A and B are shown apart, each in its own frame.
Chain A
Amino acid sequence: MNTENVDGLTVALPAGRLDFGAAAPFQQQLEQAVAAKPRGLIVDCSSLDYVSSAGLRVFLVAARAAKAAGIGFAVSSMKPAVKEVFDLTGFGNVITLCADRAAAVAALA
């Protein structure tokens, strides 16, 4: 997974499938990103095609870790199939979901 650093924010860019097999490495990368104490962490899902409950769990773990560390956390740019999974599980109630990266940057300002 690629990450970028923009204006004190870390942007993580998961791509392809976030399934059972991909969940553990993704979680490691997000935990490393939180440990580096950026001002905020954005997960830009513009290249993410698929997420299962194993993948969702990583978003939950990362959101909690960011909150505990006092770091802002937002998820942006979800394709419809990924957004549906977030919506059906009510994750949008506890994680900041933004239509695009600019909105996520603004949400963490």
Chain B
Amino acid sequence: MRRSRRSRRRARVSSGVKTAHWQLPGDAGQLPDAITFLQSFWEEAELPVALGFTFELALEEVFLNVALHGADSSRVPSVALELTASDTEVVLIVADDARPFDPLTLATPDIAAALEDRTIGGLGVHLVRQMMDTVSYTYEAGHNRLRMTKHLSRS
């Protein structure tokens, strides 16, 4: 049994549904650990590798949005990650206690713009919306909560 940092992560298996939770500081330097958390879950739940790429991308984009734009100068936000895999779908929830912000209100970037006019802002969220089946945002009890799902077809 691996210990230390992993002891903060709780994994549970019941009736074919696997879940894992992890809470970490919303600091960009934590991104590699957040990705490792996701990859560990992927291996334990034996999820498809190609789908893992999609979720790694979503986690990077959403986590960095919180870390780079959600923080104010006085405080690093706290981020809670939740992964759930059933036989039919995988769900990633990223919750944070930064100021209220719905990333789904970001304007869709102009993906037909010329090279000189291209900006990168909003591209991350655009990618997440394109690659996930559903993305929904709620603000409850002082927490932003972005829920992303992808249908799973197990052979």
The answer for the CA separation of A85 and B60 in the assembled complex, in Å, is: 14
Q: CB of A21 within 8 A of chain B?
A: yes
The answer for the CA separation of A89 and B126 in the assembled complex, in Å, is: 8
Encode contact with B along A53-78: 1 for CB under 8 Å, 0 otherwise: 11011001001100100000000000
- Per DSSP, chain A at the interface is helix
Q: CB of A36 within 8 A of chain B?
A: no
Encode contact with A along B100-138: 1 for CB under 8 Å, 0 otherwise: 000000000101111110101001101100110000000
The answer for the CA separation of A109 and B108 in the assembled complex, in Å, is: 36
Tally chain B residues at the interface, Cβ within 8 Å. 26
Chain B residues near A64 (CB-CB < 8 A): 115-116
- Tell whether, in the assembled complex, residue B127 and residue A89 are in contact, meaning their CB atoms are under 8 Å apart: yes
A26 to chain B, nearest CB (A): 14
The answer for the CA separation of A19 and B64 in the assembled complex, in Å, is: 11
- Tell whether, in the assembled complex, residue B31 and residue A21 are in contact, meaning their CB atoms are under 8 Å apart: yes
Q: CB of B57 within 8 A of chain A?
A: yes
Q: CB of A2 within 8 A of chain B?
A: no
Tally chain A residues at the interface, Cβ within 8 Å. 24
- From A81, A93, A94, B50 is in contact (CB under 8 Å) with A81
- Tell whether, in the assembled complex, residue B118 and residue A60 are in contact, meaning their CB atoms are under 8 Å apart: yes
The answer for the CA separation of A89 and B109 in the assembled complex, in Å, is: 9
- Tell whether, in the assembled complex, residue B120 and residue A60 are in contact, meaning their CB atoms are under 8 Å apart: yes
Q: Kindly name the residue among B114, B116, B120 whose own CB sees the greatest number of chain A CB atoms within 10 A.
A: B120
The answer for the CA separation of A20 and B127 in the assembled complex, in Å, is: 15
Chain A residues near B57 (CB-CB < 8 A): 50, 52, 85
The answer for the CA separation of A54 and B113 in the assembled complex, in Å, is: 18
Q: CB of A102 within 8 A of chain B?
A: no
- From A57, A90, A94, B120 is in contact (CB under 8 Å) with A57
Q: CB of B17 within 8 A of chain A?
A: no
Show 13 A/B contacts (Cβ-Cβ < 8 Å), sorted by A.
A19-B35, A20-B28, A20-B31, A20-B60, A50-B57, A54-B60, A54-B124, A60-B115, A81-B50, A88-B127, A89-B126, A90-B111, A93-B111
A-B CB proximity, top 3 nearest: A90-B111, A53-B124, A94-B115
B interface, CB within 8 angstroms of A:
28, 31-32, 35, 50, 53, 56-57, 60-61, 64, 109, 111-116, 118, 120, 123-124, 126-127, 130-131
